[in-house]
Amino acid sequence: MITGACFCGEVRYEISGRLYDARSCHCSRCRKAFSSQASAYALVDDAQFRWVAGETLLTSYVGERGFGLQFCSCCGSTLCGIHDGTVHGVTLGCLNDDPEIEIARHIFVGSKAGWEVIPEGVTTFDAGPDDDVNDG
């Protein structure tokens, strides 16, 4: 079981399965959404994801293509990504447990911030891979 929570602890979730396809997105949209150089998240099977507390405190932002984020309305922590109303990924920073996963690829590095330095030896894509379901 993997658990996660927002910064204030009011919104909590659990995942009964494993996370997969961890990535870091460096697009300008993720920089704005996460107030950081990139987002770090992994995909999850929606059937294995469950809110256990504070679901009424969630606020959603959904973009024009159906991709969005859910975050705590109290502390602002971005908890998950949604697509067409279902959770499709979780932010790695809000996990309570070691998900036993590593970031396998850095995507949209072609639009990364000029001040960011990508580590050598990591798998990068100037945009998203063809099979990527990202709103980048």
58-113, pLDDT tens digit by residue? Answer: 999 998 777 889 999 999 999 999 988 899 999 999 999 898 999 888 888 888 88
C-alpha 46/C-alpha 87 separation (Å) is 6
Q: Taking the model in full, what pTM does it have? A: 0.82
- What residue segments make up the domains of the chain, in order of their start? 2-111
CB neighbourhood size of 117 (10 A): 8
Q: What is the mean pLDDT of residues 108-132?
A: 80
Amino acid identity for residue 43 in this structure = L
Cβ-contact 126, 120 below 8 angstroms: no
Say if residue 98 is exposed, middle or buried (CB neighbours under 10 Å; 0-12, 13-18, 19+). exposed
C-alpha 23/C-alpha 105 separation (Å) is 5
Residue identified by tokens 């502390």 is 75
Candidates 3.40.50.2300, 2.170.150.70, 1.10.10.350, 1.20.1250.20; CATH matching 2-111: 2.170.150.70
